[in-house]
Chain A
Amino acid sequence: MTKAALSYRHTHRFGIAASAVLLMLAAILVPLPAQAYTPRAHTLQINARAFAFEPGSLSVRRGDTVTLVLEATDTVHGLYVDGYDVNLVAEPGKSATATFVADKEGKFKFRCSVACGALHPFMIGELNVEPNLPFVRALLLTLVGGIGALAFFWK
Chain B
Amino acid sequence: MNSPRFELTRIPLFKRVVTSRWVPWLFMALTLPIFLLAILTGLFGTPAGSRNFGIIFVWIVWWALVILVMVPFAGRLWCAICPIPAPGEWLQRRALIQPRAGGKLFTLGWKWSPRLNNIWLQNISFLAVALFSAVILTTPFVSALVLLAFAALALGVSLLFERRVFCRYLCPVGGFIGLYAQLAPVEVRVKDAALCRTHTDKTCYRGSDDGYGCPWMVFPAALDKNTYCGLCSECLKTCPLDNMGVFLRVPGKDLQTTKGRRLDEAYKAFIMLTCALAYSIVLLGPWAALKETAYAVGAPAWFVYAIIFLAANLAIVPGIFLACAWLTRKISLHKFSLRRTFTEYAYVLAPLGLAAWAAFSLSFVLINFSYAWQVLSDPFGWGWDLFGTANWTWTPYFAGLQSFLQIPILLAGLIAAIGMALRTAHTQGVPSRAALPIVAFCAAFTMVLLWLYV
Using a CB–CB cutoff of 8 Å, the interface residues on chain A facing chain B are 51-54, 56-57, 80, 82-85, 104, 106-109, 111, 113, 115, 117-126, 132, 134-135, 138-139, 141-142, 145-146, 148-150, 152-155
Across chains A and B, the number of contacting residue pairs, with CB separation under 8 Å, is 126
In the complex, what distance in Å separates the CA atom of A13 from the CA atom of B439?
19
Contacting A at CB under 8 A, from B400-440, are: 400-403, 407, 410-411, 414-415, 418-419, 422-423, 426, 431-432, 439
Check A146 against B443 for contact (C-beta < 8 Å): yes
In the assembled complex, which residues on chain B have CB atoms less than 8 Å from the CB atom of A82? 367, 396, 399-400, 402
Given the contacts A83-B400, A118-B138, A142-B450, A153 and B423 also touching, CB distance less than 8 Å: yes
Check A135 against B138 for contact (C-beta < 8 Å): no
Check B401 against A83 for contact (C-beta < 8 Å): yes
In the complex, what distance in Å separates the CA atom of A123 from the CA atom of B49?
13
In the complex, what distance in Å separates the CA atom of A154 from the CA atom of B423?
9
Interface size classification for chain B: 35 or more
A-B contact pairs, 30 of them (CB 8 A): A51-B292, A52-B291, A53-B288, A56-B286, A80-B396, A82-B367, A82-B396, A84-B400, A85-B399, A106-B403, A109-B284, A109-B363, A111-B396, A115-B50, A118-B139, A119-B295, A122-B284, A123-B291, A132-B454, A134-B403, A138-B403, A138-B450, A141-B407, A141-B411, A142-B410, A145-B414, A146-B418, A146-B446, A149-B415, A150-B418
Nearest chain B CB to A133 CB, angstrom units? 10
In the complex, what distance in Å separates the CA atom of A106 from the CA atom of B403?
10
In the assembled complex, which residues on chain B have CB atoms less than 8 Å from the CB atom of A126? 286
Check B411 against A142 for contact (C-beta < 8 Å): yes
Contacting A at CB under 8 A, from B79-131, are: none
Check B411 against A52 for contact (C-beta < 8 Å): no
In the complex, what distance in Å separates the CA atom of A118 from the CA atom of B52?
11
Given A53-B286, A117-B48, A155-B426; 20 other pairs, CB 8 A cutoff: A51-B292, A53-B288, A106-B454, A107-B403, A109-B286, A118-B138, A118-B139, A119-B295, A120-B138, A121-B364, A123-B288, A124-B285, A125-B286, A126-B286, A134-B403, A139-B447, A142-B446, A146-B418, A150-B418, A150-B439
Given the contacts A124-B286, A142-B411, A119 and B138 also touching, CB distance less than 8 Å: yes
Nearest chain A CB to B313 CB, angstrom units? 20
In the assembled complex, which residues on chain A have CB atoms less than 8 Å from the CB atom of B289? 52
Residue of B nearest to A57 (CB): B286
Check A153 against B418 for contact (C-beta < 8 Å): yes
Most buried by A among B284, B422, B451, B454: B454
Nearest chain A CB to B22 CB, angstrom units? 39
Check A155 against B422 for contact (C-beta < 8 Å): yes
Check A56 against B288 for contact (C-beta < 8 Å): yes
B163 within 8 A of A: no
Nearest chain A CB to B418 CB, angstrom units? 4
In the assembled complex, which residues on chain A have CB atoms less than 8 Å from the CB atom of B295? 118-119
Residue of B nearest to A121 (CB): B368
Given the contacts A135-B450, A142-B447, A111 and B139 also touching, CB distance less than 8 Å: no
